[in-house]
């Protein structure tokens, strides 16, 4: 097997990913008048919007998606944003100066908050390196193979459409499945530009996930006039909370994890537009909505639910009027629907497709669900008690959040949704309303974690404020306000240092355990051999040297790691995903009857249609207890097959006789 990518390649791919996130969205943001933290925070979401629109629309007009066409689409959107801003300035709808948050921060405060974002990013990198036990590890969970194959497909074919990448597995005519692909379109650029392998690319676009979460949280706090201490605290909590950035990754829900860390930006875009309705702020809001939709279909619903309490607070405080706000938002949302028409039509089509929707129907006790919310954990046996304490402090002092008081209502709303799905997930009406999240309590927990993390950050910030205020009451300090301020800052540093010790490095070890589930396919003691082993990878590279034709498919089993064959080598497997829902008819028939090749003409016809010349079988299984399909079991000794390669966990056969074309 070729050596894995070096650490230089790994971290180079991470840096390239961060560059891809910053440049397209940054250009559009600058053209639309964004500056400061709003520009930095919204740039990743605008990038996903731009590239998430580029791929499907290029497919519609028959052009390939690549670095050049993606850049052209980005420049087109940037030009549109610039034109709308110039129109707004000419009509006096837009301010000539960039938007300024209601509370100023000092230069030092900006630098300190930036430092906390970098700390959260470093925590994210440490967690992933510890959880994966290296830079070249392969994600082992269910949907990760679909995402890996999807990135490779887009990069290899230039097909950025919303159905194309699913044809690695659902290749039967008319069977392709819709899937929002902004995550994969960005990954395809990183793959094309970096020269790294797909496993390295998949790692690279996941490693900084908590850093992106921290940046989103800081942007939210800054936009609503929060203190710099609150922003820095939010960044630290984002890097520490298991249920925020890490738990979705642990289940292999990689695009969903991305949509969770970008969700806070929905409120930023809404607030900017309602504070100053104009063409440029309206375009930013529309692109923010499109970006969430293009990353994951449920993300837009989550962003709406997260931001709804913001509107409620506006209306209750008479900062805005219901009818006026809704009328202003309506054309923006209509515009978003128009530009995202391929995504909207595809999502609607899913509800009427033949793909099975199976509800999880969770039924845990209400007390257990509330404990999981309070303890910031679901999959780990240990809680995160210090985050719990901070969250309680934040909840008790929620009124001091001022413009961010709506976070408390958001926490109640999203936590209630989690409890409903976790405890009453089998009820038909619960199944219906939670369909965007596949009736999955783990996804709803991640959504609820966003406001809960902000409350915990508020608790930490209030603790610092109480310490600083306490110093100011000392008689001999009243005449020395600068000294009192410095002592307050020092007290905050002490609080953070003690917190780092009490949380064992901001729960880095616990989070590494959670992330490790993604690389072990669960807890190591429960799963045995992971589905993608080193031996299977070795066999894939051996197969790559055997001259497999570009139109051939290699017969494999759906339960083992050979579903990764396309992502690793570019060779098409018969089963390109672990998912057995509505498999291609030929694939299903061969899984049951391939052993009857000599006597069953339908087997030979299926082999001919799929142009099969080789069989690749692994050993591990995606789920414990799954047995190999009967049609491809015990193939040794069959007269129509020749065993060309074998190692302890993989074997390659070649068909001796193949039906004439």
Three-state helix/strand/coil letters over 530-596: CCCCHHHHHHHHHHHCCCCCCCCEEECCCCCHHHHHHHHHCCEECCCCCCCCCCCHHHHHHHHHHHH
Position 359 scores a pLDDT of: 81
Position 622 scores a pLDDT of: 81
Mean pLDDT, to the nearest integer, of 603-612?
93
For residue 78, pLDDT over 80 is answered with yes
Helix (H) or strand (E) holding 193: helix 182-194
Token code pair at residue 139: 């994600």
Rounded percentage of the chain residues whose pLDDT exceeds 70:
91
Mean pLDDT, to the nearest integer, of 440-467?
90
Position 554 scores a pLDDT of: 95
Instruction: State the CB neighbour count (10 A cutoff) for residue 108.
Output: 10
For residue 659, pLDDT over 60 is answered with no
For residue 8, pLDDT over 90 is answered with no
In whole angstroms, give the CA distance from residue 247 to residue 500: 21
In whole angstroms, give the CA distance from residue 50 to residue 189: 13
Mean pLDDT, to the nearest integer, of 615-630?
85
For residue 396, pLDDT over 70 is answered with yes
Position 99 scores a pLDDT of: 72
Position 212 scores a pLDDT of: 96
Lowest-confidence segment of 1-5, 169-173, 546-550 by average pLDDT:
1-5
Helix (H) or strand (E) holding 246: none
What pTM did the predictor assign? Answer: 0.93
Position 285 scores a pLDDT of: 96
| Nearest in space to 367 (alpha carbons), one of 416, 423, 414, 439 | 423
Buried b (16+ CB within 10 A) or exposed e, 532-558: bbebbbbbbebbeeeebeeeebbbbbb
Of these ranges, 231-235, 354-358, 625-629, the one predicted with the greatest mean pLDDT is: 231-235
Lowest-confidence segment of 75-89, 207-221, 383-397, 502-516 by average pLDDT:
502-516
Position 93 scores a pLDDT of: 67
Residues 6+ apart with CB under 8 A from 232: 112, 113, 115, 116, 218
Position 195 scores a pLDDT of: 87
Residue range 339-394, pLDDT digits in tens: 999 999 888 877 666 667 778 888 899 999 999 999 888 888 888 888 899 999 99
Position 94 scores a pLDDT of: 64
Instruction: Give the pLDDT band of residue 569 (cuts 50, 70, 90).
Output: very high
Instruction: Give the pLDDT band of residue 91 (cuts 50, 70, 90).
Output: confident
Rounded percentage of the chain residues whose pLDDT exceeds 90:
60
For residue 53, pLDDT over 80 is answered with yes
Mean pLDDT, to the nearest integer, of 621-631?
83
Residue range 119-128, pLDDT digits in tens: 999 999 999 9
Instruction: State the CB neighbour count (10 A cutoff) for residue 98.
Output: 12
Mean pLDDT, to the nearest integer, of 193-219?
94
Mean pLDDT, to the nearest integer, of 426-450?
91
For residue 85, pLDDT over 80 is answered with yes
Residue 429, phi-psi category: left (phi > 0), alpha (psi -120 to 50), beta (remainder): alpha
In whole angstroms, give the CA distance from residue 208 to residue 557: 33
Position 136 scores a pLDDT of: 75
Position 478 scores a pLDDT of: 52
Token code pair at residue 453: 């993390």
For residue 249, pLDDT over 80 is answered with yes
Residue range 264-296, pLDDT digits in tens: 999 999 999 998 899 999 999 999 999 999 999
Overall residue count recorded for the chain in this entry: 661
Mean pLDDT, to the nearest integer, of 588-606?
92
Instruction: Give the pLDDT band of residue 326 (cuts 50, 70, 90).
Output: very high
Mean pLDDT, to the nearest integer, of 601-624?
90
Position 120 scores a pLDDT of: 93
H-assigned helices in 383-523 = 385-396, 406-424, 428-433, 441-472, 481-502, 504-520
Task: Report the chain's mean pLDDT, rounded to a whole number.
Answer: 88
Per DSSP, the residues of 197-230 read -HHHHHHHTTTTHHHHHHHHHHHHHHHTT--HHH
Mean pLDDT, to the nearest integer, of 469-474?
56
């Amino acid at each position: 097997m070729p050596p894995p990518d070096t650490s230089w390649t790994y971290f180079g791919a991470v840096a390239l990913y961060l560059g891809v996130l910053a440049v397209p969205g940054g250009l559009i943001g600058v053209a639309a008048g964004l500056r400061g933290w709003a520009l930095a925070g919204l740039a990743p979401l605008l990038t996903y919007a731009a590239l998430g629109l580029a791929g499907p629309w290029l497919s519609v007009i028959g052009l390939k998606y690549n670095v050049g066409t993606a850049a052209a689409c980005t420049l087109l959107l940037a030009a549109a944003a610039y034109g709308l801003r110039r129109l707004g300035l000419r009509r006096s709808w837009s301010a000539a100066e960039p938007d300024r948050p209601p509370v100023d921060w000092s230069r030092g405060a900006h630098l300190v908050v930036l430092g906390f974002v970098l700390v959260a990013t470093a925590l994210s990198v440490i967690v992933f390196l510890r959880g994966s036990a290296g830079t070249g590890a392969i994600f082992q969970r269910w949907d990760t193979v679909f995402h890996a194959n999807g990135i490779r497909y887009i990069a290899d074919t230039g097909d950025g459409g919303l159905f194309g990448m699913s044809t690695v597995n659902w290749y039967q005519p008319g069977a392709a499945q819709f899937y929002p692909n902004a995550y994969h379109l960005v990954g395809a650029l990183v793959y094309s530009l970096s020269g790294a392998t797909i496993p390295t690319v998949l790692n690279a676009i996941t490693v900084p996930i908590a850093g992106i979460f921290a940046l989103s949280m800081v942007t939210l706090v800054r936009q609503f006039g929060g203190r710099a201490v609150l922003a820095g605290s939010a960044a630290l909590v984002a890097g520490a909370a298991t249920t925020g950035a890490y738990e979705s990754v642990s289940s292999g829900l990689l695009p969903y994890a991305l949509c969770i860390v970008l969700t806070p930006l929905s409120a930023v875009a809404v607030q900017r537009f309602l504070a100053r309705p104009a063409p440029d702020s309206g375009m930013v809001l529309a692109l923010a909505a499109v970006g969430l939709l293009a990353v994951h279909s449920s993300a837009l619903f989550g962003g709406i639910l997260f931001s709804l309490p913001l509107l409620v607070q506006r209306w209750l405080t008479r900062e805005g009027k219901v009818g006026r706000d809704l009328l202003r938002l309506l054309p923006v949302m209509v515009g978003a629907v128009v530009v995202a028409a391929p995504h909207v039509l595809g999502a609607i089509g899913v509800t009427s497709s033949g793909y099975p929707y199976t509800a999880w129907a969770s039924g845990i006790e209400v007390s257990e669900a509330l404990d999981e919310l309070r303890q910031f954990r679901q999959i780990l046996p240990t809680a995160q008690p210090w985050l719990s304490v901070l969250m309680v402090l934040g909840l008790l002092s929620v009124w001091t959040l001022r413009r961010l008081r709506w976070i408390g209502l958001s926490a109640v709303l999203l936590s209630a949704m989690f409890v409903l799905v976790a405890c009453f997930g089998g009820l038909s009406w619960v199944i219906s309303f939670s369909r965007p999240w596949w009736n999955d309590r783990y996804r709803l927990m991640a959504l609820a974690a966003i406001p809960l993390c902000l409350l915990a950050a508020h608790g930490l910030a209030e603790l610092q404020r109480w310490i600083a205020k306490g110093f100011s009451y000392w008689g001999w300090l009243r005449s020395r306000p600068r000294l009192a301020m410095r002592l307050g800052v020092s007290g905050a540093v002490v609080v953070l240092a003690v917190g780092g010790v009490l949380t064992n490095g901001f729960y880095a070890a616990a989070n590494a355990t959670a992330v490790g589930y993604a690389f072990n396919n669960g807890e190591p003691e429960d799963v045995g051999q992971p589905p993608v082993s080193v031996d299977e990878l070795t066999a894939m590279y051996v197969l790559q040297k055997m001259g497999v034709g570009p139109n051939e498919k290699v017969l494999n089993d759906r339960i083992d790691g050979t579903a990764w064959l396309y992502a690793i080598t570019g060779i098409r497997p018969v089963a390109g995903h672990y998912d057995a829902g509505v498999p291609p008819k030929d694939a299903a028939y061969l899984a049951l009857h391939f052993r009857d090749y000599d006597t069953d003409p339908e087997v030979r016809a299926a082999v001919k249609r799929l142009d099969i010349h080789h069989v690749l079988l692994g050993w591990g299984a995606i789920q414990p207890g799954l047995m190999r399909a009967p049609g491809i079991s015990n193939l040794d000794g069959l007269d129509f097959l020749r065993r060309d390669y074998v190692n302890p966990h993989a074997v390659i056969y070649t068909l001796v006789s193949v039906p004439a074309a």
